Structure 1
Amino acid sequence: MNYIEVNFSIKMAEATEINMDSVREIIMAELAMLNFESFVNTKQGLQAYIQEVDFNQKELSALYLFENPDFTIEFGITKIEQQNWNAEWEKNFESIEVNGRCVVRAPFHQEKDVEFDIVIEPKMSFGTGHHETTHQMIAELLAVDVSGKRVLDIGCGTGVLAILACMKGASSITAIDIDEWAYENTLENVRKNKCSQIIVKKGGAALLKNSSYDVILANINRNILVNDMEAYVKTMSSGSKIAFSGFYTSDISHIDTHARSLGLKLLRQSEKNNWAALVYQMS
């Protein structure tokens, strides 16, 4: 499986009121709708990655963001062979720390003295902790008691949330992703972190039939969350908790309305650079 790297160079207009980070967020939101999977911030702008079979240069060039007067964007395209991906990530990947309790790092980083030290092989899958939504979900999971609980990580990416749930004492953990690369990467990271009780599955919400969970972690884009939320809720019982992320603050009202219609009660919400996370409990 080969990937396409698109390297975006962003130049801000002199009179604009928005900043580079905001532009990166706009680009990532648009690219996610075109099936781009991972993103890396650069000094010049952003690198984005998509499977070669999903890449459509005409769709990319037609995005409205190239007409925005507040900034100009140029991009270059590079084909990346699968076997070269680790080297590409190693050039950019840095460890992150969340709330002084959890570190997410690659095998080539030095181990740190924290409560939860998670080693992630930085391959082509979402969920290294660098993106705001994964960082938020880690923070939310740190605040939730999962000891002895049944946990679902849906849209698991690297498996980082499932691994943290394992380290926090969850009795059973299921990690699901529809992407083959994410599935394989999660299996590798589960082994690397010695979390043999995590069950990893390839697929989507259809796999949840006849399942029951106490805590659900869903870090997926808005459209999938809304489409599959009912399937998630059917696995919950009174007192079960579910955390959503993967969408902008402007999407909160839409997500919240749908969640409440399914009997979920909002416990709290957080925001980070215009990205949002919502935590609910089943009534």
Structure 2
Amino acid sequence: MSISWLQITATTHRTAIAEAVFEQFGAEAITELDAGSELTVEMSPNSTPAFERARMLGLFTQGTLAEPIIAALHEALGDDVIVDTQTLENEDWASRWLAEHPPIRFGERLWVAPHNAPVEAGDNAIVMRLDPGLAFGTGTHPTTRLCLGWLAEADLAGRRVVDYGCGSGILAIAAVLLGAREVVAVDIDEQALQATRENAAHNGVADRIITPAMSDITGGPFDIVLANILAKPLISLAPTLTELTLPGGALVMAGLLTRQIEDVRSAYEPAFIFDAPDIEDDWARLSARKADA
């Protein structure tokens, strides 16, 4: 039997609020696209895309009622939102996603692209191939872009990395492609771990990415700890992530809003020395170096 999906599109200036509404109603995938005629698809070093007005696409499972989600969007955003709904078959969704997601560049060398998309890049380019899946994470979301931007500029050669809350595995795969010796990728969702394993295999790095249960992380502490989750889990996980990070090692956190920066940072100080936050739209990335013991 063919599976259908409910896609709700919210066109707004305040994308973080629209995303929060989609998350509240259990969206299986959320994608941000420029509402203009062209997508911002390339990132040069130390720059991020800036959408004046964006389309937030929320994908929901068959049978989800659209009316409560639409009402919540209008309540949260008022006149600053236009809402459209569509029903998509599996094939329609995948085809549309591929058409709307050209390759994205991070830094000088790293590209993220669908499997069938041509990439016009130099000989030293590193191309990660990802297609849509329910454990979503394909480089289109600001928090993912912020983390990929950090990885693209970091020295990862020979480093051991933890991707805590790996989703589709995009950060873990990028780290290995950029030179990391090994990545431990963990998530509370078994579907995310399966997506990570499949995506790692498709990119030829399955032998350097392991996916244990969160309770079975071994071999730490690590040179780099990545955590692209949400502010509250980041705060509650401070003892765990601190323990996983080597003295002098790097901690990279995303998934928090700008108003949550101080709360998250204070949970890790004085064990970590923080860089200035990097911000895109209402989202922030915090990077820090663990103080030497």
Q: TM-score if structure 2 supplies the norm length?
A: 0.79
What is aligned with 1:8? 9
Deviation per residue, 1:195-214 (Å, 9 max, x gap): 133334265x4343674211
Greater shift, 105-114 or 245-254, is seen at 105-114
Q: 2: distance between equivalents of 1:147 and 1:4? A: 41
Q: 1: distance between equivalents of 2:180 and 2:192? A: 22
Please say if 1:212 is aligned against 2:218: no
CA contact (8 A) 2:73 2:81 kept: no
Q: How does 1:87-126 map to 2 (within 5 A)?
A: 87-111=95-119, 112-113=121-122, 114-126=124-136
Offset, 1:52: 5.6
The 3 A distance-change label for structure 1 pair 46 and 142 is: closer
Q: 2: distance between equivalents of 1:92 and 1:184? A: 25
Q: 2: distance between equivalents of 1:208 and 1:32? A: 28
What is aligned with 1:46? 56
AA aligned to 1:175 is A
Greater shift, 71-80 or 250-259, is seen at 71-80
What is aligned with 1:13? none
Q: 2: distance between equivalents of 1:152 and 1:50? A: 30
Offset, 1:65: 4.8
Deviation per residue, 1:134-184 (Å, 9 max, x gap): 111111112222222210112222222111211222221111223333322
What is aligned with 1:28? 19
Offset, 1:107: 0.9
Deviation per residue, 1:39-64 (Å, 9 max, x gap): 233748332124569x5768636637
What is aligned with 1:273? 281
Residue 197 of structure 1 aligns to a residue in which SS?
helix
RMSD (Å) for aligned C-alpha atoms: 2.9
Q: Provide structure 2 residue ranges, at least 5 long, that are not aligned to the other structure.
A: 36-53
The 3 A distance-change label for structure 1 pair 9 and 210 is: closer
Q: 1: distance between equivalents of 2:71 and 2:10? A: 17
Greater shift, 102-111 or 225-234, is seen at 225-234
CA contact (8 A) 1:151 1:172 kept: yes
What is aligned with 1:168? 178
AA aligned to 2:273 is K
What is aligned with 2:257? 248
Q: How does 1:50-199 map to 2 (within 5 A)?
A: 50-51=60-61, 60=69, 63=72, 65-66=74-75, 68-76=77-85, 78=87, 81=90, 86-111=94-119, 112-113=121-122, 114-199=124-209
CA contact (8 A) 1:174 1:200 kept: yes
Q: 1: distance between equivalents of 2:65 and 2:241? A: 32
AA aligned to 1:185 is A
Offset, 1:275: 1.3
The 3 A distance-change label for structure 1 pair 230 and 209 is: farther
CA contact (8 A) 2:70 2:83 kept: no
Greater shift, 67-76 or 187-196, is seen at 67-76
Q: 1: distance between equivalents of 2:280 and 2:210? A: 29
Deviation per residue, 1:187-228 (Å, 9 max, x gap): 12111111133334265x434367421101111121222222
Q: Matched residues, percent identical?
A: 22
CA contact (8 A) 1:248 1:275 kept: yes
Offset, 1:72: 4.4
Offset, 1:249: 1.2
The 3 A distance-change label for structure 1 pair 9 and 277 is: closer
AA aligned to 1:66 is E
**Counterpart selection for 2:231 from 196, 210, 222:** 222
